[in-house]
């Protein structure tokens, strides 16, 4: 198993990216609670991150609404199910932990979904920031609620040329 990393600049500050065997395995914002120790990041090598860097720059510029990158998930089967479900939340839309639990066929697992969501190692690309509390509140983001708010505002402001707006829950 080959693990390498790079660090790119972003409006949210430096973003460490980690790749494992050619797939994006980590994207960390700020001092996330579940960020692995520095030794786990492997050697610095910018080459495997050319596409990720380009796509993240396009995302922050408002020119990209979907990522097309190989991902290298490393979690429990339940966590990986939740992380794959996050990829189905459309750009500029939100869902709740309850709705996400229902979408994976586990309607009573809202808390477990929230825990798995919080351990998502590939922030932004796997859009855990699009999940809200059942009352629509901006809860539970490892990089902080203000960061979550900024990412949602970026997406709401760029979707179909609309003006920035408060996040809204999806109807699904």
Annotated catalytic residue 147:
no
Give residues with Cβ within 8 angstroms of 66, minimum separation 6: 91
Q: Of the residues 17, 89, 101, 128, which is catalytic?
A: 128
Q: What's the rounded Cα separation, in Å, for the pair 145 and 126? A: 17
Q: What's the rounded Cα separation, in Å, for the pair 167 and 172? A: 15
Q: What's the rounded Cα separation, in Å, for the pair 93 and 71? A: 22
Compute the CA torsion angle 145, 149, 154, 160 (nearest 10 deg).
140
Catalytic residues: 128
């Amino acid at each position: 198993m080959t693990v390498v990393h790079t660090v790119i600049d972003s409006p949210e500050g430096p973003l460490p990216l980690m790749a494992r065997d050619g797939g994006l395995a980590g994207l960390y914002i700020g001092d996330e609670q579940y960020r692995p120790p520095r030794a786990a990041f492997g050697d610095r090598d910018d080459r495997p991150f050319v596409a990720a860097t380009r796509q993240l720059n396009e995302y922050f510029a408002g020119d990209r609404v979907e990522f097309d990158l190989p991902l290298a998930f490393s979690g429990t089967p339940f966590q990986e199910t939740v992380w794959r479900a996050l990829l189905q939340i459309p750009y500029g839309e939100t869902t709740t932990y309850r709705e996400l639990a229902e979408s994976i066929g586990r309607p009573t697992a809202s808390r477990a979904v929230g825990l798995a969501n919080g351990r998502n190692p590939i922030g932004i690309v796997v859009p855990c920031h699009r999940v809200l509390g059942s009352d629509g509140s901006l809860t539970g983001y490892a990089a902080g609620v203000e960061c979550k708010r900024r990412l949602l505002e970026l997406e709401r402001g760029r979707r179909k040329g609309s003006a920035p707006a408060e996040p809204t829950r999806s109807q699904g």
